[in-house]
Amino acid sequence: MCAIWFMHVTLLILCYLMLNALTGESLAMAFSSALCIFSLLALVQAQSESQQPKIQLRLAGDKRKHYEGRLEVFYNNEWGTICDDDFSIEAAHVACRELGYLGAVAWSPSAKFGQGEGRIWLDNVHCTGGEKSLAECPSNGFGVSDCRHSEDVGVICNQKRIPGHRFINTMNNNVETLEERVEEIRIRPISSHLKRIPVTEGYVEIKDRGKWRQICDEQWTPLNSRVTCGMYGFPGEKKYNNKVYKSLSMRKKKNYWGFSVNCTGNEAHLSSCRLGKALEPKRNGTCGRGLPVVVSCVPGRAFASSSSTGFRKAYRPEQPLVRLRGGANIGEGRVEVLKNGVWGTVCDDNWNLRAATIVCRELGFGSAKEALTGAKLGQGMGPVHMNEVECSGFEKSLTDCYFNNDALGCSHEEDAAVRCNIPAMGFQKRIRLSGGRNPYEGRVEVLTEKNGSLVWGTVCSENWGMIEAMVVCRQLGLGFASNAFQETWYWAGDASADNVVMSGVRCSGTEMSLPQCLHHGKHINCPRGGGRFAAGVSCSDTAPDLVLNAQLVEQTTYLEDRPMYALQCALEENCLSSTAKKNDHSSYRRLLRFSSQIHNVGQSDFRPKMGHHAWTWHECHRHYHSIEVFTHYDLLSLNGTKEAEGHKASFCLEDTQCDEGIQKRYLCANFGEQGITVGCWDTYRHDIDCQWIDITDVKPGDYIFQVVINPNYDVAESDYTNNFMKCKCRYDGYRIWTYHCHTGGSQSSDMDEYPGMSNQLHFR
């Protein structure tokens, strides 16, 4: 580098001397001198380029997405890091473009993505942003640094890749092969399999320099197939009929890619595998055995086809040991594990793609796209069962991985989550939103077959609700439903799609597409018709999630005999049994009282469905009620018959308390905004009006005490299964005992002692 600068200085001196010598010289001499200078400049430029170090970059570190991480440099046969001193967004742009992304979004100092190992290759990097490589940017020089690994720099790149950029990573130490990358990978089915969805079998092809090329199977292993199937959403691979493919390969011209691939089986994508040695194709275009690579993948249960009913509808798998909760789309969510009959979460300490992939494969998906930390998909409730999980990558279940039993110091703010690769089912191509102000809202239009051709049409909005809207948003990959509309006259949809093509839609909420829900089939029945009364939705990336504190209910339950003269406000608000209207002021009512604490553990605030204009003023209690039906308090017989109810309907929502560091946002007083902030809870104390069940007419015996939040699904949530709480209850006519209180989904089905009771469709 010093020699290059010396040559630049020497050239400047020569230019100065020659220009002085030009005084009085001929034009020809001046022209010759100029040519000489330009030649010398070109020589220096060529020498500069030839002496520029060859480097390769990669993103490393745990707890990261594929487009972000600690920036590492491969130089002089060794990987090292970059110091954050003087690093800038311009340098991040250069690095991200060198990695094949369109640019950088941000950069991070102080080893945000963990401390690296080995040499710190670069320090005080100064880029203008126009360089093609970090090696072109001025710095202290390779290996010259006074930094520690606590100063390792990280970058966050734009998720979009540069079109045509070849990106298979190679970890070989041979610098000459470091530039080899590929643009795209696919599984191409043979003609007899073209109509199969999802595509589970076919040739593995790589797009290289704009052309699709096959891979020679000379060094292909089952581990390579495992990785390929995983990246396409399948948990495993299987054998296939080799004779068919051998026969087909004999007829077609070969076009092999020039490298083999060497996977360990733990990679989330084929692009993360090492490249093997370069292959030398034979004269006839074949490789060793002359066969292109074929993979055959095993789909998970949710995606397996059935000859009788097509794709499986919403199913109830056998009791798993691991589950996902709080995710908007299929194959994503907070990781929860079952231990001693109780569901708990996983702490994100050491959480990485390898452990996340074990979860994904265990649940019938492919490898993990992301290993999420910091409760990014919502906080769980109950215990934290696993901490510092370490997996080899080949375990059958996450529970087989090594982990630390001691979860001390882990809170639900550190709950781990995953996003898995899932098969391409083509669901998004058969539904669309039309007429909305943005891509997240509009009238629901579905593609259906009519008289032998495919036509677009609307969905009947009769009984259309939030559960159906959730399935639509999931099918479109647009997150959670935020609203379900039964009138869409304000959205000018496609006039050619006004006719109703689907009616009687009734979903359970677990379906992957609208046709999997119950519906009328070919016999459409929609009294109001489509058009302005067609079904519509709006979707959102995030949603709230309400959970009742079951332990507090159990701890605060007691009986009170209260005179009627002290219950007039409660009587006006229908908080007593119907027989109370016949009693005089001197009579008493027996009340089962308790406190309720409703937490919002989701990703967005819980807001009432109705605006201020529709809230109801209650003179007795001197505040507005923003939700008319928010909770049900019921006492049930052991067979599920309702024996008494609290009639607790109208609610005033506010932040009573919040987790440390979170500010209250909602307050009922003075006609304030109402809702529950993420990380806060609304507490209704046992000693306030209507926080009870009127059991005056109930006979002694054993009962089930039940509380249901948001029973009519009026407001969207990320998880409705945890919206109810049940307790066992014994009443002897004088005293009452409540025990074994738990929220829905918090325990295994084997331990659920309330058969047939759930907050599902029969409540709607």
pLDDT at 668 over 60: yes
Note the pLDDT tens digit of each residue in 79-109: 899 999 989 999 999 999 988 888 999 999 8
pLDDT of residue 625: 73
Residues 549-558, mean pLDDT to the nearest whole number: 93
**Mean pLDDT lowest among 164-178, 229-243, 711-725:** 164-178
pLDDT of residue 691: 87
Note the pLDDT tens digit of each residue in 447-485: 988 877 889 999 999 989 999 999 999 999 999 999 999
Query: For residues 425 and 196, is the Cβ–Cβ distance under 8 A?
Result: no
CATH number of 56-157: 3.10.250.10
Report the candidate in 567, 590, 540, 602 with the shortest Cα–Cα distance to residue 697. 590
Give the β-pairing of 453-459 and 616-618: unpaired
Note the pLDDT tens digit of each residue in 593-637: 999 999 998 889 998 887 777 777 777 766 677 777 788 899 999
pLDDT of residue 17: 46
Query: For residues 694 and 589, is the Cβ–Cβ distance under 8 A?
Result: yes
For 646-686, the DSSP string reads -----B----SEE-TT-------GGG----B-TTEEEEE-T
Q: Which fold has domain 322-421?
A: Mac-2 Binding Protein (3.10.250)
pLDDT of residue 761: 34
* The architecture CATH gives domain 430-540: Roll (3.10)
Q: What percent of the chain has pLDDT over 90?
A: 34
Residues 408-428, mean pLDDT to the nearest whole number: 89
Report the candidate in 359, 382, 381 with the shortest Cα–Cα distance to residue 369. 359
Domain locations in the chain as residue ranges: 56-157, 184-302, 322-421, 430-540, 546-762
Report the candidate in 282, 56, 73 with the shortest Cα–Cα distance to residue 177. 56
Note the pLDDT tens digit of each residue in 335-359: 999 988 889 999 988 898 899 999 9
Q: What percent of the chain has pLDDT over 70?
A: 83
Peptide bond into 198 cis (omega under 30): yes
**Mean pLDDT lowest among 113-127, 129-143, 686-700, 745-759:** 745-759
pLDDT at 140 over 50: yes
Query: For residues 662 and 602, is the Cβ–Cβ distance under 8 A?
Result: no
Note the pLDDT tens digit of each residue in 14-34: 444 444 544 444 434 443 444
User: What mean pLDDT, rounded, does the chain reach?
Assistant: 81
Note the pLDDT tens digit of each residue in 718-737: 988 889 999 999 999 899 99
Report the candidate in 379, 380, 352 with the shortest Cα–Cα distance to residue 368. 352
pLDDT at 35 over 70: no
Note the pLDDT tens digit of each residue in 281-323: 555 555 766 688 899 999 998 888 653 344 444 545 466 889 9
Q: Which fold has domain 184-302?
A: Mac-2 Binding Protein (3.10.250)
pLDDT of residue 676: 93
Q: Which residues pair with 344 in a beta bridge?
A: 337
**Intrachain domains 184-302 and 430-540 with the same fold:** yes
Residues 530-542, mean pLDDT to the nearest whole number: 89
pLDDT of residue 289: 65
Query: For residues 436 and 494, is the Cβ–Cβ distance under 8 A?
Result: no
